[in-house]
């Protein structure tokens, strides 16, 4: 089995074989999977761990994804939009921490006023975050849902260079089950392709353990990442929010969900060697050592929260969200020590572009 995993052919791997890998239980084959993912990470991305300061700029959303705690129809949510100064202060906190990049995240709003607001913030952060250590300022990533090509171009021209738009599942029937009929898989895909064409470092990802989801569907998701040539991947276990209408029981127990989530990271690393993969907050919410274990299985990015504490609890996509940040007791120091003890190198003042993005953009020069 060990030889099998180290000899996997990323271009010709079948859905059946990938689904088998995703089902690996603790034992010799799973350790071979982890070690192979680690080897590929070291060979393609070095030992560095990059930080993206996560700033949840607004929980106002015009959509109604059926799994999401801040969906428009959830009237119990206290809505907020951070002021320009609040976002700038949070971004400068990330500079002080030594991060090379941030991710501005919000619910989906497509009106011009919102795009104006984000564009102005991007420009201000780019100007203010420049220093000797960060001559081009912070790298700015966005996660603002589906936007028109015109809006995406405006955001890119303002100075954002990365965009994360999760497809959530690549199975069209499952996509239709977890979204209202007004949201289409085709639109999401088309927006993802626009991002790439505009020049963004493009990220996507899926939820793991949705009701009705199979390992074969998750295997297809991994092949989608490869075939759509994406640069960054953020995947997380599906965690239930009680005030949402998604019907059906979760596909897995928590123990199985954690295991499959880690197997997904490792299998994705093998199939997409040069992409950045995040060890997500949802993984840590599911398990206290989730981020560290995600790194051990092939992730190379973490996203500590820098949403102001007084707003963070209002951005609840799911229940019990974990928070890795300097203001959370000794969690931050412990995390850094854990990372170092795993032979990984916390990387400060570095953008940490994915080698996949660098290779595909250089090949077009």
Q: Which residues of this protein are in contact with ligand SF4, per CB under 6 A?
A: 61, 63-65, 68, 70-71, 107-108, 145
Q: How crowded is residue 226: how many other Cβ atoms within 10 Å of its Cβ?
A: 16
CB nearer ligand SF4, residue 86 or residue 168: 168
Give the separation between CA 209 and CA 217, rounded to whole angstroms.
Answer: 10
What are 194's two structure tokens? 């626009």
Report the nearest approach of ligand SF4 to the CB of residue 111 (Å). 14
Report the nearest approach of ligand SF4 to the CB of residue 183 (Å). 8
What are φ and ψ of residue 279, in 5° steps? -90, 105
Report the nearest approach of ligand SF4 to the CB of residue 225 (Å). 19
Q: How crowded is residue 121: how many other Cβ atoms within 10 Å of its Cβ?
A: 25
CB nearer ligand SF4, residue 20 or residue 74: 74
Give the separation between CA 210 and CA 116, rounded to whole angstroms.
Answer: 35
What are 253's two structure tokens? 């127990």
Q: How many helices (H) and strands (E) does the chain have?
A: 15, 11
Report the nearest approach of ligand SF4 to the CB of residue 184 (Å). 13
Q: Are 159 and 126 in contact (CB under 8 A)?
A: yes
Report the nearest approach of ligand SF4 to the CB of residue 68 (Å). 3
Those residues whose C-beta lies under 8 Å from the C-beta of residue 132, and which sit 6 or more positions away, are: none
CB nearer ligand SF4, residue 61 or residue 115: 61
CB nearer ligand SF4, residue 70 or residue 167: 70
What are 284's two structure tokens? 């840590």
CB nearer ligand SF4, residue 11 or residue 76: 76
CB nearer ligand SF4, residue 107 or residue 304: 107
Give the separation between CA 6 and CA 329, rounded to whole angstroms.
Answer: 40
Report the nearest approach of ligand SF4 to the CB of residue 334 (Å). 30
Those residues whose C-beta lies under 8 Å from the C-beta of residue 81, and which sit 6 or more positions away, are: 57, 58, 60, 106, 117
Q: Are 347 and 100 in contact (CB under 8 A)?
A: yes
CB nearer ligand SF4, residue 69 or residue 250: 69
Report the nearest approach of ligand SF4 to the CB of residue 315 (Å). 9
């Amino acid at each position: 089995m060990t030889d099998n995993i180290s000899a996997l052919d990323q271009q010709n791997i079948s859905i059946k074989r990938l689904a088998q890998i995703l089902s690996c239980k603790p034992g010799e084959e799973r350790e071979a999977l982890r070690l192979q993912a680690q080897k590929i990470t070291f060979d393609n991305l070095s030992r560095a761990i990059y930080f993206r300061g996560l700033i949840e700029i607004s929980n106002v959303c015009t959509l109604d994804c059926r799994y999401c705690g801040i969906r428009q129809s959830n009237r119990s949510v206290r809505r907020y939009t951070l002021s320009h100064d609040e976002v700038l202060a949070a971004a400068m906190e990330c500079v002080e921490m030594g991060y090379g990049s941030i991710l501005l995240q919000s619910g989906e709003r497509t009106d011009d006023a919102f795009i104006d607001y984000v564009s102005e913030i991007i420009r201000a952060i780019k100007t203010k975050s420049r220093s000797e250590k960060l001559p081009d300022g912070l790298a700015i990533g966005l996660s603002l849902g589906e936007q028109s090509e015109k809006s995406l171009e405006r955001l890119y021209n303002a100075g954002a260079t990365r965009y994360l738009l999760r497809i959530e599942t690549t199975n069209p029937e499952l996509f239709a089950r977890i979204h209202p009929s007004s949201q289409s898989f085709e639109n999401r895909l088309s927006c993802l392709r626009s991002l790439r064409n505009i020049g963004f470092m493009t990220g996507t990802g899926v939820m793991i353990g949705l009701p009705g989801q199979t390992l074969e569907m998750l295997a297809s998701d991994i092949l989608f990442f490869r075939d759509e040539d994406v640069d960054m991947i953020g995947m997380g276990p599906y965690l239930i929010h009680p005030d949402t209408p998604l019907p059906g029981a979760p596909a897995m127990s928590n123990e199985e969900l954690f295991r499959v989530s880690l197997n997904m990271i490792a299998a994705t690393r093998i199939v997409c060697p040069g992409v950045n993969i995040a060890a997500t907050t949802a993984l840590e919410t599911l398990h206290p050592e989730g981020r560290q274990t995600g790194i051990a299985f092939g992730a190379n990015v973490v996203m500590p929260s820098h949403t102001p504490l007084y707003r963070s609890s209002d951005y609840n996509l799911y229940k019990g969200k974990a928070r890795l940040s300097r203001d959370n007791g000794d969690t931050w120091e412990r995390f850094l020590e854990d990372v170092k003890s795993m032979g990984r190198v916390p990387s400060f003042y570095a953008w940490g572009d994915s080698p996949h993005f660098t290779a595909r953009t250089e090949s077009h020069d």
